[in-house]
Amino acid sequence: MRGLDTSTESRPAPPLNDAREFGFGVRHFDAIRERLREFTGISIGDIKQDLVYGRLTRRVRSLGLPDFDAYLALLEQQPENEKAEFINALTTNLTAFFRERHHFEDLRERVLPALIEQKRHARRLRIWSAACSTGEEPYSLAMTLSEALGNRLPQWDALVLATDIDTGVLTTAARGVYPRERLQGLSDSERKRHFDPVTGSTGEMVVKDSLRSLIRFRQLNLNGPWPMRGGFDVVFCRNVVIYFDKPTQKTLFARIARQMEPGGHLYIGHSESLFRVSERFEHLGRTIHRLNGAGP
- Active-site hit among 164, 166, 212, 290: 164
Residue 108 has a pLDDT of 97
Contact between 30 and 22 (Cβ < 8 Å): no
Is the pLDDT at 12 greater than 60? The verdict is no
Residue 19 has a pLDDT of 58
Q: How confident is the model at residue 93 (pLDDT cuts 50, 70, 90)?
A: low
Average pLDDT for 234-241: 93
Burial 60-79, CB ≥16 within 10 A → b, else e: beeeebeebeebbebbeeee
- Active-site hit among 2, 33, 35, 55: 55
Domains of the chain and CATH, by start: 26-90 (1.10.155.10), 101-291 (3.40.50.150)
Residue 1 has a pLDDT of 46
Is the pLDDT at 126 greater than 60? The verdict is yes
Residue 92 has a pLDDT of 66
Mean pLDDT across the chain, nearest whole number? 89
Average pLDDT for 6-23: 51
164 is catalytic: yes
pTM of the predicted model as reported, rounded to 2 decimal places: 0.79
Average pLDDT for 255-278: 95
Residue 294 has a pLDDT of 52
Closest CA to 231 of 197, 203, 257: 257
pLDDT, tens digit, 9 for 90 and up, residues 99-118: 999 999 999 999 999 999 99
CA distance 291 to 16: 47
196 is catalytic: no
pLDDT, tens digit, 9 for 90 and up, residues 219-230: 999 999 999 999
Closest CA to 213 of 278, 123, 146: 146
CA distance 274 to 285: 12
